Structure 1
């Protein structure tokens, strides 16, 4: 990337540093941090207008134009390079000539192939759009992105802005002012990291090893996350909700407590540690609720 096309150079958040490490550590295995969002909709759609709206969203959010590299002159410190002008990669897949069953099979295959295709972390943007046309007025829009760019909270913000841009022909006058992701990075830089490390060291004092449920090296290479869904009977749900209310707890706290007890039973320990993601959006930062980026 030439310097004339470079808008700025920014540091990475700690989680971005971690995801970049995983992306570069083993470039032959699947990247489990490639995420997807698919939207189904019907109506009279101007596909080129939607494509232009995708470009407008990238123009609006500078951090979506980021690439990630090691900065050699600073002992390999990673940086994100914000390109001044990047178009959204766009692909149109017309399925109207296929029978319904074949149409579904092709769509599922293309979605899976797109998820398996790794991003080059040094080439922006680390996202791409695929629009499937299933019928004259029936579509599926697929966004495939690297998690290093944005989190789950950001996805609906991005989609809402995309269709707002589509409706306005690329004019963002009706959208709120962009709260740049770099403001969050500035806020992070002002934090006292040593105090944070000391707080966590105290909280984890006495913990000698992780709580592993499987032997080390049980799985070779990266393993893609899977989702398992189980329906809980209505009677049990009501009982759990009543138990949580009677103890002044949220349902999430109840579930996390149950998970902790299960870990203890499986590992034979009464002191266990596990983690869960939180939004990571500091409420004292203006506009944080509408920022697009990685905060978890």
Structure 2
């Protein structure tokens, strides 16, 4: 959570929402402080097949949820623990704030912060 918050504080676009209906013009609002959206769940008590089904269903619901540009965090991360040293990440973001090309840069930055915080 702390490493994601570092990312959000470094990049204003991740603290941004977009409102429509202000004088019939879209309005971009950048917050000074906004936390990342992180969900963590431990699935180790499930059998492998059930874990896979659960992750597929979680991912389907996450896609279906979409993003409310006016109020949602426009990037969210879910960490699903599947084993003692195994995790599955569901990293969702709206294309208005970033695209697939920068995902490796963003994840690299998050993990660099994560390991720095651990150290």
- Superposition TM-score, scaled by structure 1 size: 0.38
Counterparts of 2:22 and 2:73, CA distance in 1: 22
Instruction: Work out whether residues 131 and 141 of structure 1, in 8 Å CA contact, stay in contact via their aligned partners in 2.
Output: yes
SS at match of 2:100: coil
Please say if 1:111 is aligned against 2:59: yes
Task: Name the structure 2 match of 1:122.
Answer: 70
What are the Cα deviations for residues 51-80 of structure 1, in whole angstroms up to 9, with x where unaligned? 11011100110111110013633xx22121
What are the Cα deviations for residues 37-57 of structure 1, in whole angstroms up to 9, with x where unaligned? xxxxxxxxxxxxxx1101110
Instruction: Work out whether residues 83 and 124 of structure 1, in 8 Å CA contact, stay in contact via their aligned partners in 2.
Output: no
Please say if 1:165 is aligned against 2:113: yes
Task: Name the structure 2 match of 1:92.
Answer: 40
User: Which region of structure 1 is more displaced relative to structure 2, 76-85 or 155-164?
Assistant: 76-85
Measure how far apart 1:154 and its partner are: 1.3
Number of aligned residue pairs: 118
SS at match of 1:142: strand
Moved runs in structure 1, 4+ residues, more than 3 A?
A: none
Counterparts of 1:72 and 1:88, CA distance in 2: 26
Written as runs of structure 1 = structure 2, the 5 A alignment for 1:206-217 is: none
Please say if 1:64 is aligned against 2:25: no
Counterparts of 2:86 and 2:63, CA distance in 1: 22
SS at match of 2:33: coil
Gaps of 5+ in 2: none
Measure how far apart 1:120 and its partner are: 1.5
SS at match of 1:91: strand
Please say if 1:77 is aligned against 2:3: no
Counterparts of 1:100 and 1:84, CA distance in 2: 42
Written as runs of structure 1 = structure 2, the 5 A alignment for 1:33-48 is: none
- Superposition TM-score, scaled by structure 2 size: 0.92
Counterparts of 1:101 and 1:124, CA distance in 2: 32
Task: Name the structure 2 match of 1:152.
Answer: 100
Give the number of the structure with larger relative contact order, counting CA–CA contacts within 8 Å between residues 6 or more apart.
2
SS at match of 2:89: strand
Gaps of 5+ in 1: 1-50, 171-296
Written as runs of structure 1 = structure 2, the 5 A alignment for 1:123-272 is: 123-169=71-117
Larger Rg: 1
Counterparts of 1:169 and 1:156, CA distance in 2: 20
SS at match of 1:169: helix
